[in-house]
Amino acid sequence: MTTQPSYSIAIHGGAGNHRQQSSREALIEYSLRGVLTQGRALLDAGGTALDTVVHCTRLLEDDPLYNAGYGAVPNCAGRFELEASVMDGRTLKAGAVTNVDNIRNPVELARRIMDQTAHVMLAGRGAAEFAAANRLASASQTYFQEGWRKHATTDKDAYGTVGAVARDRHGDLAAATSTGGQVDKLPGRVGDSPLIGAGNYADNDGCAVSCTGWGEDFMRTALAAQVCFLISRQNFDAHAAARAAIETLVSKVNGNGGFILVDRIGKIATAASSASLRCGWIEHGGEIKTALQASIRIARAAS
Amino acid sequence: MTTQPSYSIAIHGGAGNHRQQSSREALIEYSLRGVLTQGRALLDAGGTALDTVVHCTRLLEDDPLYNAGYGAVPNCAGRFELEASVMDGRTLKAGAVTNVDNIRNPVELARRIMDQTAHVMLAGRGAAEFAAANRLASASQTYFQEGWRKHATTDKDAYGTVGAVARDRHGDLAAATSTGGQVDKLPGRVGDSPLIGAGNYADNDGCAVSCTGWGEDFMRTALAAQVCFLISRQNFDAHAAARAAIETLVSKVNGNGGFILVDRIGKIATAASSASLRCGWIEHGGEIKTALQASIRIARAAS
């Protein structure tokens, strides 16, 4: 395996059912390009994949176009409960948070849990207490209501979860994912985004991967772990691993969604069973590319 | 692959550092035999693996010998926060719960979430609200304090998480896991036990597996999913998959703990990097066996 001196990064703004470009999609493309430009600046200067995916995910959380952070969607009780995770492929250290309702940037909290506790994941009140003790920026439910009004799309199938994966100049991988979850989810619902091995995973021996879609489908198939093991254990390349994993998602649970990945040599792949997967990437330091659909698409059965 | 008409079941009462039999271990052996006897009755009569693992895990939760349910250990704030999961290998449906402090049998709640919601996992207050609406048996913090006093061992390294895996006469697999978590964990901490793919997994094409130990190690390696994929994707047999996975746990994160599994043809394997793994099993309808240690042991580096 040769090590590439260049960097790679991919980001996504969620899976959905959009088949055609719209004015909203144009805004999203503009936003993704801006985030990738910032990601490039960090990676080009020798920054770590870990710092870069957290930074890019935070930018996506602050943009009401997406269902994460500011633009998070409400649960069936009208409340905003957010979740996020981050994983460092060099050390396999990870941080995750779920069921937080007063944190501006859940991905920053996930990073803090990874760095400053013996744990990987905190939930609910315990997570909020840890965040307060560590002076993480808080946000009120009013803040999320405001973002949701700006976000407002009538499309309940637009999941809009965000994520970032990167390989830095040192050859290290990292992945981050953040979401507001499903519209009208039950209070307390935990999705795949904060679950290491379900919606997010990174291992320098395999790949970094971030998923989006109907979270339960990714949990039941441990999809992020599956993508990574196909590379680390079975020596699939990025494209073959992405294809095999999205085929598994569909064949096993008729799963709905997609993912982005960057493998150990910096190759990027995108795959989805949903009609759309808003994403953008820079492969080996090249041009910024964006797409409304994944490059590998497997149709799911009508349900 | 030939289908065995008989059933198999394995249960565990946690990983720890016990190297020698003690009077407490004798009690645990007696308890495990009792639970396996009940598991056998269900499976022998044609009961499902799913019903059996939930029933056996509930029995273990009600016994203060283990760190789950009644015998759960307190967090650093002196409170009891429990978690559990269940997975059906036939359908890949799963249920899980974390951060509940007033439910007598978390594994029953996990099953209810699986059966009656569109979700896999609920946490904290939302989980408690769902449990109340579904009339799950509640329990006070006083109940858990009482169990903990009976449980009381001075050994903080005795994790005591419980779990059960089974293959029924129909050839279907299931797995369940339940825990009180680590002694002195932070409030809100989520461990591997409720995480599908980390501490629990079941797929008829692979195996059913239940883990115990330092939960974060199993989360960082997506260990339960890894064990299953070694069988379903790489055609390892039960023993080879168990060995490869426990080696990975140690080589990747110097992980501490172990797991039990039953594979798609009813073979049972136990593996651990911890000194002890209290477990018992019935393979292909045979005799009840119990052990204080896993059959496959990989030493971890001193830490």
Give the mean pLDDT of B155-166.
79
Smallest CA–CA separation between A234 and chain B, in Å?
A: 8
- Determine, for residues A222 and B225 on separate chains, whether the beta-carbon distance falls below 8 Å: yes
Nearest-CA distance from A247 to chain B in Å? 13
Section A24-36 average pLDDT = 94
Q: How far is CA B58 from the centre of its chain?
A: 11
* Confidence (pLDDT) at B84: 98
Tell whether the model's pLDDT for residue B93 goes beyond 60: yes
CA–CA distance, B259 with B231 (Å, rounded to integer) = 15
What pLDDT, on the 0 to 100 scale, is given for residue A266?
98
Using pLDDT thresholds of 50, 70 and 90, give the confidence band for residue B303.
low
CA distance B95 to B111: 6
Locus of tokens 């269902």? A67
Cβ distance A126 to B186 less than 8 Å, yes or no, reads yes
Residue B22: what pLDDT? 76
Look at residues A138, A162, A157, A139 and name the one whose alpha carbon lies nearest to residue A65.
Answer: A162
The pLDDT value given to residue A263: 98
Please check whether residue B247 is in contact with residue B194, taking contact to mean a CB–CB distance below 8 angstroms.
no
The DSSP H or E segment spanning B105 is none
Asked if B121's CB is within 8 angstroms of A190's CB, the reply is yes
The neighbour count for residue A20, using CB atoms within 10 Å, is 8
Nearest CA in chain A to B195: A195
**Is A186's CB within 8 Å of B219's CB?**
no
Cβ pairs A/B, distance under 8 A? 161
At B119 the three-state DSSP class reads: coil
Per-residue pLDDT, B158: 58
Residue A258 pLDDT greater than 80, yes or no: yes
**What pLDDT was estimated at residue A153?**
64
- From B196's Cα to the closest Cα of chain A, the distance in A is 6
Q: State the catalytic residue, choosing from B52, B57, B98, B161.
A: B161
pLDDT value at residue A253: 98
pLDDT higher than threshold 60 for residue B2? no
Residue B151 has what pLDDT?
A: 73
Confidence of residue B121 (pLDDT cuts 50, 70, 90): very high
CATH class, domain A8-297, is: alpha beta
Residue B44: is its pLDDT beyond 60?
yes
**Share of residues in chain A with pLDDT > 90 (%):** 88
Contact flag B186-A122 (C-beta cutoff 8 Å): yes
Q: What are the structure tokens assigned to A3, written together?
A: 């090590």
| Alpha-carbon separation of residue A142 from A33, A63, A168 (angstroms) | 29, 16, 37
Rounded distance between C-alpha atoms, residue B86 and residue A29, angstroms? 41
Residue of A nearest to B253 (CA): A92
Mean pLDDT, rounded, for A264-273: 98
The more confidently predicted of residues A154 and B98 is B98
Measure CB to CB from residue B187 to each of A126, A203, A228 and give the nearest one. Answer: A126
Catalytic residues of A: 161
Model confidence at B104: pLDDT above 80: yes
pLDDT, position A158: 58
Sheet holding A121-123, edge to edge: A288-291, A276-282, A8-16, A162-167, A173-179, A82-88, A94-100, A121-123, B189-190
Q: What is the pLDDT of residues A120-155, one digit of tens each?
A: 999 999 999 999 999 999 999 999 999 998 876 655
Phi, psi (5° rounding) for residue A128?
Answer: -65, -40
Hey, what are B63's tokens? 């016994």
Residues of A in contact with B225 (CB under 8 A): 197, 222, 225-226, 229
The residue whose two tokens read 């407002």 is A152
Distances (CA, A) of A237 to A211, A243, B17, B33, B245: 18, 10, 41, 47, 22
Range in A29-38, A245-254, B180-189, B240-249 the model is least confident about: B180-189
Q: Residue B157: pLDDT above 70?
A: no
The B82-88 sheet, strands edge to edge: A189-190, B121-123, B94-100, B82-88, B173-179, B162-167, B8-16, B276-282, B288-291
Contact: B189, A126; criterion CB under 8 Å = yes
Per-residue model confidence (pLDDT) at position A154: 54
Mean pLDDT over B69-87 rounds to 96
Q: Which of B98, B120, B252 sits opposite A219 (nearest CB)?
A: B120
Question: Taking CB atoms and an 8 Å limit, are A119 and B93 in contact across chains?
Answer: no
A121–B226 CB contact, under 8 Å: no
Q: Could you report the per-residue pLDDT of A190-209, keeping only the tens digit for each?
A: 999 999 999 999 999 999 99
For residue range B166-186, list pLDDT tens digits in order: 999 999 999 999 999 888 899
Average pLDDT over residues B178-202: 96
pLDDT tens-digit readout, A67-108: 999 999 999 999 999 999 999 999 999 999 999 999 999 999
- Best of B112, B193, B219 to disrupt the A interface by mutation (most A CBs within 10 Å)? B219
Chain A: residue whose CA lies nearest to B187: A126
* Edge-to-edge strand list for the sheet holding B296-297: B200-202, B207-213, B257-263, B268-272, B296-297
* Mean pLDDT score across all residues of chain A: 94
- Least CB-CB distance to A120: which of B118, B216, B230? B216
Separation between Cα atoms, residue A132 and residue A225, nearest integer Å: 32
Q: Report the amino acid identity of residue A87.
A: M
B236 CB neighbour count, 10 Å cutoff: 20
Q: List chain B residues with CB under 8 Å of A89.
A: none
Q: What are the tens digits of pLDDT across the range B281-293? A: 999 999 999 999 9
In whole angstroms, give the CA distance from residue A265 to residue B76: 43
pLDDT tens-digit profile of A204-232? 999 999 999 999 999 999 999 999 999 99
